[in-house]
Structure 1
Amino acid sequence: MDARTRMARWEQRTEVPLAVASVIFVAAYALQVLGPDRLKDAWIDPGLAMMLAAWAAFAVDYVVRWRLSGQRLGFVRTHWLDTVVLVLPLLRPLRFVKLYEALQRRHGEPRLALHARVMVYSGMSTVLLGFTGALAVFQQERGAPGATMRTFGDAVWWACSTLSTVGYGDVTPVTPVGRLIAVGVMAVGLALLGAVTGTFASWLLQTFSREGDEKPPKS
């Protein structure tokens, strides 16, 4: 059995467990940030344990796939997104998108065309990263001196305006960590917006080109 086959089998077996780990991580983190004070005080240790367990699952998966690939440092270059997800916990919800793609392929060819899949996956990624980004910024900003982000609703509004690259400026982070998270959200917003607009423009060009080819020649 070659390395590629072993890698494919491992990924097939771990798709659902890692997606469940992503759900556990996001749920535990959201409860720590948004839960009532009494519940948060009692949830600190169990929540941290669940988040660490989810991270350990991703770390084990990364190490196993790295060993199965036999690429050494080449694995880091070819699987850079997995490396970033392992280092930055807030990107772990992207596993949902990967699981959705894998489930689509298990039933044969994906139902959506390539352009539609790119836009759907970009939309899913935007929603997931917007939610986790709002959680992270709100955790840093609430109670900070001079903070304009007083509620989680303010954080969601800020995430939406930042990801869409509108940036009204009515709600902005003031803490150093909050601003660092904001830089990451800006970069993700630009990348996802570029992917969607580029894919949509490519689809329009292909559509108009196809319509031009189908027109009967003038007599």
Structure 2
Amino acid sequence: MKRRAVLLLLAATGLASCADPEPAEPRTGVSSVAADYLWPVHSRELGQGFCFTLVQGLTPVEVVARLGGTELERVEWQRLVGPGDGERGDTGRFFLGVTRAGDDWSLIVEDNGALGVTESLVEPLSAGSTVLAYYSDAEEHGRLLALRDGDVVLDFDSGTPDRWGGSRPGDFVPAMRAAGLIGGTGVTGPTGPALAFLDGQTGVRLTHDFLVERTYLLVTVPKP
């Protein structure tokens, strides 16, 4: 991958878990809130999959430090995800962008990366904080993860929607029902409801316009 190879060259040169709170009912329609968040499904930029991770109470620089990452440069949205090639071509590193999102949250954006649902990395990241992440692959199979102070409190996999993980999954039943992930609201795919859930938990609206307007720290993080 030309883009990834260049980024690695820059870096080298120094530039700067199971519970079952209730069965999920079949999903077949789209709620009005979730409809605002269907854009990644149709996006060529994120066509190979994506992961959005929100971290409370840490600045982007602090997020990078906790992850043991290396900042390469500051980039706009199109340079971060424009090629839509994700992690292809490098098996040893995650590539991601980190930006400020609201008064109390930092956002990690990955083009076809899964750092946000890699528990060995996000558990320490959540120390004294809250982390919420949603990962989707190219087939729109999704995983939703919530952590508080090193504890996985919710682990929801759209492939097994009637089986949840985490220490306190029941805490999230009302919010997940309101977002359309459970309760028979009839959404055919999890992406819109999952991002609506993140909105409800954080107040951060992950619309395409919101993401395009931001500047990101382009970062590499070694894979465990």
Q: Identify whether the pair has TM-score above 0.5, normalized to the shorter chain.
A: no
Q: Which has the higher contact order (CA 8 A, sep 6+)?
A: 2
Q: TM-score, normalised by structure 2?
A: 0.25
Q: TM-score, normalised by structure 1?
A: 0.26
Which of the pair is proportionally richer in helix? 1
